[in-house]
Amino acid sequence: MIPFDFEYYKPSTLADSIQLFHELDSLNKQPLYYSGGTEFISMARMHNVYSGAIIDVKAIPELNIYEINDDELIIGAALSLTRIAEEDLFPLLSLTVRRIADHTIQDKITLGGNIAGTIIFRESVLPLW
């Protein structure tokens, strides 16, 4: 159980998520972006993170892109590790993310969360280096 109440928002566009963040920040809600929730839930339960407002960006289309376009790999930050592993567009990244946690949690962990989170392990960044 998370030991505090917070407001939950789920914008459908990048512009809305940015505007919402600024509005909530001006109200001192300490907003956090959320795409999978594994780190937020774990850290909140241990009283290591607090937010008065969570902005869930998982449904924003631009953050879920995973494609090769003109020889460039485009990866959205809200992609789950499971999707990266299954689609296998970048074999080294696919192999790496398969080794992060177990399969049941890989569907919740996102690439952006693994790279930018506060937990010290950021295994998925290695193939991108």
Q: What is the CATH number of the domain that holds 22?
A: 3.30.43
2 falls within a domain: no
Residue 86 has φ and ψ, to the nearest 5°, of: -75, -40
What is residue 13's predicted lDDT score, i.e. its pLDDT? 97
- 88 has which bridge partners? none
Give yes or no for a contact between 98 and 107, defined as CB atoms under 8 angstroms apart.
no
The pTM is what?
Answer: 0.83
Residue given tokens 């839930």 in the structure block: 41
Is the same domain home to 51 and 35?
yes
Domain hosting 100: range is 65-128
Q: What is the pLDDT of residues 81-94, one digit of tens each?
A: 999 999 999 999 89
Give me the number of domains the chain comprises.
2
Tell me whether residue 44 is in a domain.
yes
Question: How do residues 118-127 score in pLDDT, each as one tens digit?
Answer: 766 667 777 7
36 lies in the same domain as 81: no
